[in-house]
Structure 1
Amino acid sequence: MSSSPLNSVAQWVQTNYAAPIDSVHQGLRIAYVVFSFCAALFIGFLKAVVVGPIAGLLLMVGNVGVILGLFPFHVFWTVYSLLKTNRINLALKFALLLALPILFALWLALGIFGSVLVGIGYGFFTPWISTFEAFRQDSEAKKFLHSIVDGTWGTVKGSCTVVRDFADICYHSFPVYLKELRDCSGDNETHSIRLMEVPACVVVGLMGLVVDIPLFTVIAIIKSPYMLFKGWQRLLHDLITREGPFLETACVPIAGLTILFWPLVVVGSILLAIISSIFIGLYGSVVVYQERSFQRGVAYVIAMVSEFDEYTNDWLYLREGSILPKPKYRKRKVSHSAELSVGSSVVKGGKAGSSSSGAPAMLVPNLGPSRSVREAIQEVKMVQIWEELMKCCELKGKELLDANAFSSVDLTEWLRTKGTNQETIGLGLPSYALLHSILYSINAGSAGLLLSSGTELNHLNRPQDRLMDWLFQPIIVLKEQIKVIRMGDDEVRFLEKLVLFIGDVQGMESWDNGSVAPQDALKAAQIQAISRRLVGMMRSISKFPTYRRRYRQVVKILMAYCLERDGTTRTGSTRSMSSIEIVQMQV
């Protein structure tokens, strides 16, 4: 009974003052978000002014230097590969040689322009974004420290990393493509064209440039105000309703930065439309070659303008269709049309385009409802897949070193020859790691690809980008093929040998892993086909950006593991590696 008056007082205070207190808290929270946004904007601006010119200049000078320095070699390699390959006939070689000056001029112009644009964007906006990301830290001290430090030296290092990856693509990946073109066997599909069709291809290609570039530009500029206000409307709607990127309070400042810089996104979309129109116009020559018809090539050039207008209408939620003429330019459906169409029917969210053509894709930012931050986090990122692959290469590499499948001498030679030789290290080891990732997923009963962290990569949570479109489905198909043939333990070890040594008979004989070649000729042929597909997939993956830099780090880790395991001493004919040499390899 004595506590009842106190309870009554507490109930009275809660009834009369709870709502005002909640309002005060809500107001303080809004004021804190506004203050955080303004502080991050000011600090980010200062860092962008100080760090931006340095990082941007490094990236621009580095990339332009790579483009200009390797340009003579690119010309020589390309012409030599076209002349030597057996996959195309003489008339098609002549047509491609006529087109090479235009393609090389585009490479120089777009490469230099893109390097300048990327340098400015990366150098000035990365410090800004890093500052806003710092405000997502838990404690106030960490927020202040990271807002000052993040995006400074890391941006400069990042620009150097971009230059290095770009140089790897130009110096290593591009020659590998050309080498595959030169060294293809007679079993590959050959392409031919009649000499009388060459002028038609040239004329339609030039017509595509003359017609599509100005019309695409006009359409993009006319619709840019719609994109500007539609984007602001979508973002402000998410801000008011606390949806999409505004769902999490910690992400509100970053989303506010998106609203502020949305006009730059619109300008970038216009530039993207102009650049895309160049390749879409040139693709008219390919349509003439595929359809064997000059008229259909001209129809393609006209239809692309209508499809671009219709495509942008769909993304900007304007009227359906297009008032522009859209002649039919395909008499048969191209196998890859669904993925390359301007009006592609393969659109997320069930939104189908208007047609399925064989034209290069046109990209426009999606103005649909944004996903929440939690939904975005649930999606497996491409960087996670890269890290998983490299981690698996490291673990399997250590196991193979312990099993004496290869030695530190092989690793040293691969590093010193800049990865040009020793397929066992450069290609066999990552193929072996990919094989065990697939086997691990099969043994675990996963419907997709099971990562070592326990995350299952499947069609629902995989990264939605073109790289995964090219790789994920073939890997899943290969996984099902391995399940179907039901290999025993001895046959799995035989497959491991085939994948690791890639035809190196001496290496296969020197490593005894207990494998037994299948007596059944059909089973042996199936296992060999799987090994070829695995190596082919990894050969394609090895050409991607960032792969070479990351994989070289894995090889260096394996070298350090060898030195630690062997006590940094070697006996007999094997030469020891000094610490100075290791430091030189790290550079």
Structure 2
Amino acid sequence: MKVPVGFIANLWSFIKFLPFFILLLILGIFKALIISPVAAVIISVGNSSVIIGLWPAHFIWTCYCVVRTKRLGMTLKIGTLLFLPMPLVLWPFAGILGSFVGGIGFGFFSPLIATFEAVGENVPDKCYHCVADGCWPTIQASCTVVRDFTDFCFHSYFSYMDELIMKTPAEEEPVEIKLSRLPGCLLVSLLALLVDVPSITVLALWKSPYMLITGWKRLLEDFIGREGPFLETVCVPFGGLAIILWPLAVIGSVVAAFMSSFFLGVYAGVVVHQEHSLRMGLAYIVAVVSLFDEYANDLLYLEPGSRLPRPRYRRNANSSPDSIQRKTSHESENNVEKDGREGLGDSTLTSQRSRTLKAAIQHYKPIKLLDWLFKSCEVNGRKLLHEGLINVQDIRDCVVKGDCKKLGTALPAWCLMRCLLVSAKSDSPGLVVPDESDLTITNWPRDKMFLWFIEPLLIMKEQIRKLNLEENEEACLQRAIMQSKNQIPEDWDDIGFPSEDNIRRAQLQSIIRRLQGIVGSMSRMPTFRRRFQHLVRVLYMEAAKTGALVNYIVDNSTRRDASDSQESDEASEESDAGKTEYSVANIV
């Protein structure tokens, strides 16, 4: 959509768009009022049935895994078991209420957004799509939500619990609480609540007028100039609603600051326990107010940093596990980081005039990354199936029995390895994704979960680049990932790996194990299992087309007939021997 230039053009564009917008809004609300109850019933009833049906198993298995795990020390384990029943009892009520509210929200906003999307430039027959879009697809998506929620409760949950009780390395120490440190922790936490809660609340109230005025100013500028949230037609109603409800957002931010201050204050006790020092805990009480002030300044585009005192509350600040400690300078973003990534240069991606992210950079979405991964799995899966590296038995187990554990780890791990191999050979500072574009720190998803996945991949890419693999070694990696255990260097003796260097083998096996671990974590995502099962069905049809499935069935039937024939021969021999023994017994 072409953005008009000049105030008169902007005003005339707004006047022309206003009646059209009101009609679309009325139509969207009418559709939402019809679809929202249906979607709410599907999601709430489906999710509630899953929650209630699996709640006894979740309750018993959670307690059992906490008792069995060796990752927690005895004191922490006992404390966890004492407080664990309360969240487990509250889970059905919270889950059912959340499903009902989420179903209403999804059923209302999905048809409403689809109504505005139907008037896009590339949509033919706009009148039909304005009426039809968002109705049946919303109902189908509601069923998909129930399916994904079921997968998470039935598969992902038990996967997390299995990881909790799995054997830990001998050198790994269990997480434990020292009883001798608890009095000091409780004392400092209580003192932190008395100091940090009012201090942070006062800071939030002090900055709220500026947040209100600045937010209104920027929203109105974007509204007049059709920029930012008002650039796309579908976002106009929500941008206008943001102007009206912005005071509520300011009030919500103050309330959120007040609520978070309790958690920030209680964390002082954790600092005392970790550092084994009351002085460090008292220093944290003062420093956390400065950290909150700096965070608020960054959020409101005020002067960076904070003028409040910030004493050091960690003996080793570089390795601090504190999640709220943030860097006070943006200069580190200009340097090449240790894992080979390049910095952003300037943290501001857009100009002050236009706060439209699309005008400066196209960010990749997490769902798009999953699309690329499964597209790569389909392409590589067909290739590996033709080469015989994917066993038809694994495909049948996944389709018939739902057991995709082996194939669901090996195939995505190989696709990620291919991405790392291509990226290591290129000059890109990031990853070369399947559409031959670059995924770097400047355009990857701002989702924290995907940040945990992408950062290790960038480190592994640099490790592969330093190994400087040859073509025959890359070919062997394909068989190693799909067929080998990859636990010790000797596991590769049967795949014909050309290098005899055990250190080189161990490094590659370590990378493969990390890839398999990343895939294992990704497989717990609700959408992953559903999409992978669809992928396996595609591979199953491919196996049927190529004749691999027929050959597998014929081989199995031949083995079964041979086995039955052998068993019948053995049975007849046993019967003849029994008759002979009976005759001999009669003669005697």
User: Normalising by structure 1, what TM-score?
Assistant: 0.76
Per-residue CA deviations over 1:512-555 (Å, capped at 9, x if unaligned) read 9x742521222222222222222122222222342222222211
Tell me the residue number matched to 2:66.
82
Q: After the TM superposition, which residues 122-137 of structure 1 pair with which residues of structure 2 at under 5 Å, given as runs?
A: 122-137=106-121
Question: C-alpha displacement at 1:160, in angstroms?
Answer: 2.8
Checking the alignment, whether the CA contact within 8 Å between 1:381 and 1:462 is kept in structure 2 is yes
Q: Residue in 1 aligned with 2:386?
A: 402
| 1:115-169 deviation digits (Å, cap 9, x = unpaired) | 4443333222222222222222346x63322222222222222233233333333
Q: What's the counterpart of residue 438 of structure 1?
A: 420
Note the C-alpha offset of 1:171: 2.7
How much has 1:369 moved relative to structure 2? 7.1
Letter aligned with residue 499 of structure 1: I
Q: Residue 162 of structure 2 aligns with which residue?
A: 179
Give the 3 Å change call, closer, same or farther, for CA 100–485 of structure 1 in structure 2: same
Q: CA deviation at 1:213?
A: 8.2
| 1:464 corresponds to 2:446 | yes
Aligned to 1:518: 499
Amino acid at match of 2:163: E
- Structure 2 distance, partners of 1:205, 1:152, is 52
Give matches, 1:487-566, under 5 Å. 487-501=469-483, 503=485, 515-566=496-547
CA displacement 1:180-234 (0-9 Å, x = unmatched): 2211232434333323345666787799899988997897688767645543322
Identity score, percent = 38
Match of 1:387 in 2: 371
Contact 2:148 2:526 in 1 (8 A): yes
Partner of 2:148: 165
In structure 2, the CA distance between the partners of 1:568 and 1:485, relative to structure 1 (3 Å rule), is: closer
Stretch deviating more after TM superposition (387-396 or 407-416):
407-416
- The alpha-carbon distance between structure 1 residues 282 and 224, as it changes in their structure 2 partners (threshold 3 A), is same
Alpha-carbon distance change, 319 to 473 in structure 1, aligned in 2, over 3 angstroms: closer
Give yes or no for contact 1:136–1:251 (8 Å, CA) kept in 2: no
Q: Aligned pair 1:52/2:36, yes or no?
A: yes
**How far apart, in 1, do the equivalents of 2:100 and 2:331 lie?**
32
The CA distance in 1 between the partners of 2:94 and 2:200, in whole Å, is 17
Helix, strand or coil: the match of 2:445?
coil
For the residues of structure 1 that align with 2:202 and 2:97, how far apart are their CA atoms? 21
5+ long unaligned stretches in structure 2: 1-5, 335-349, 559-588
Contact 1:33/1:252, CA 8 A, preserved across alignment: no
1:399, distance to aligned residue in structure 2 (A):
1.2
SS at match of 2:554: coil
Deviation, structure 1 residue 40: 1.9
Q: Distance in 2 between matches of 1:146 and 1:377?
A: 30
2:221 — aligned with what?
A: 237
Q: Tell me the SS of whatever aligns to 1:127.
A: helix
Determine the C-alpha separation between the residues in 2 that align with 1:224 and 1:106: 34
Query: Contact between 2:392 and 2:548, CA under 8 Å: does it hold in 1?
Result: no
* In 2: Cα distance, 1:107 partner to 1:219 partner: 34
Structure-1 residue corresponding to 2:410: 428
> Which of 475, 478, 482 is the matching residue for 2:457?
475
1:440/1:450 contact within 8 Å kept: yes
**1:191 aligned partner:** 175
SS of structure 1 residue aligned to 2:461: helix
Superposed CA RMSD in Å reads 4.3
Task: Quote how far apart the aligned CAs of 1:428 are.
Answer: 0.9
Match of 1:146 in 2: 129
Asked if the contact 2:76–2:177 (Cα under 8 Å) also holds between the matched residues in 1, the reply is yes
CA contact (8 A) 1:234 1:369 kept: no
Equivalent AA in structure 1 for residue 141 of structure 2: G
Distance across 1 between alignment mates of 2:210 and 2:69? 49
Corresponding letter in the other structure for 1:153: W
Q: Distance in 2 between matches of 1:88 and 1:190?
A: 5
Shift in CA distance, 133/541, structure 1 to aligned 2, threshold 3 Å: same
Structure 1 residue 556: deviation in Å? 1.6
Tell me if structure 2 keeps the 8 A contact 1:44–1:127. Answer: yes
Alignment of 1:238-317 (within 5 A): 238-247=222-231, 252=236, 255-260=239-244, 262=246, 265=249, 269=253, 280=264, 283-284=267-268, 286-293=270-277, 304=288, 307-308=291-292, 311-312=295-296, 314-316=298-300
Q: Aligned pair in 2 of structure 1 residues 574, 100: CA closer, same or farther (>3 Å)?
A: same
Pair 1:445–1:526, CA change in 2 (3 A): same
Q: What amino acid is aligned across from residue 51 of structure 1 in structure 2?
A: I
For residues 218 and 123 of structure 1, the distance between their equivalents in structure 2, rounded to whole angstroms, comes to: 39
1:152 is matched by which residue type in structure 2?
A: C
Separation in 2 of the partners of 1:367 and 1:322? 24
Residues in 2 aligned to 1:203 and 1:252: alpha-carbon distance in whole angstroms: 51
The C-alpha deviation readout for 1:464-510, integer Å capped at 9, x for no partner, is 221232122211110111111122233223322332235189xx999
SS at match of 1:311: helix
Deviates more, 1:225-234 or 1:518-527: 225-234
Letter in 2 for 1:497: R
* Inter-CA distance 123–149: structure 2 relative to 1 (3 Å threshold): same
Distance 1:409 1:271, change over 3 A: farther
Secondary structure of 1:378's counterpart equals coil
Separation in structure 1 between the aligned mates of residue 7 and residue 288 of structure 2, nearest angstrom? 56
Q: Which amino acid aligns with 1:463?
A: P
Question: What is the alpha-carbon distance in structure 2 between the residues aligned to residue 431 and residue 99 of structure 1?
Answer: 38
- Secondary structure at the residue paired with 1:551? helix
Q: Evaluate the alpha carbon distance shift between residue 344 and residue 415 of structure 1 in structure 2; reply closer, same or farther with a 3 A threshold.
A: farther
The equivalent residue for 1:118 is 102
- Mapped to 2, the partners of 1:322 and 1:105 lie a distance apart of 43
> Which has the larger Rg?
2
SS in 2 for 1:188: coil
Whole-angstrom CA distance in 2 between matches of 1:62 and 1:92: 36
Given that residues 450 and 457 in structure 1 are in contact (C-alpha distance below 8 angstroms), is that contact kept between their aligned partners in structure 2? yes
C-alpha distance in 2 between matches for 1:531 and 1:322:
44
Kindly provide the amino acid, as one letter, of the partner of residue 118 in structure 1: G
The question of whether the paired residues in 2 share the 8 Å contact of 1:36 and 1:253 is answered with no
Cα contact 1:213–1:274 (8 A) shared by 2: yes
Alpha-carbon displacement from aligned partner over 1:290-325 (angstroms, at most 9, x marks no partner): 223567557757865675466345534679889999
Tell me, in whole angstroms, the C-alpha distance in 1 between the residues paired with 2:61 and 2:119. 49
Q: Deviations over 1:11-48 (max 9, x none)?
A: xxxxxxxxxxx999877643332123212211111122
* Partner Cα separation in structure 2 for residue 378 and residue 524 of structure 1: 39
Could you tell me how far 1:397 is from its partner in structure 2?
1.1
Unaligned runs of 5+ in 1: 1-21, 352-365, 577-587
CA contact (8 A) 1:230 1:367 kept: no
Matched residue, 2:27? 43
Question: Residues 523, 330 of structure 1: CA spacing in aligned structure 2 closer, same or farther, 3 A cutoff?
Answer: closer
3-state SS of paired residue (2:72) = coil
Residue among 443, 466, 474 paired with 1:484: 466
Task: Give me the whole-angstrom Cα distance separating, in 1, the residues matched to 2:82 and 2:318.
Answer: 26
Equivalences, count = 534
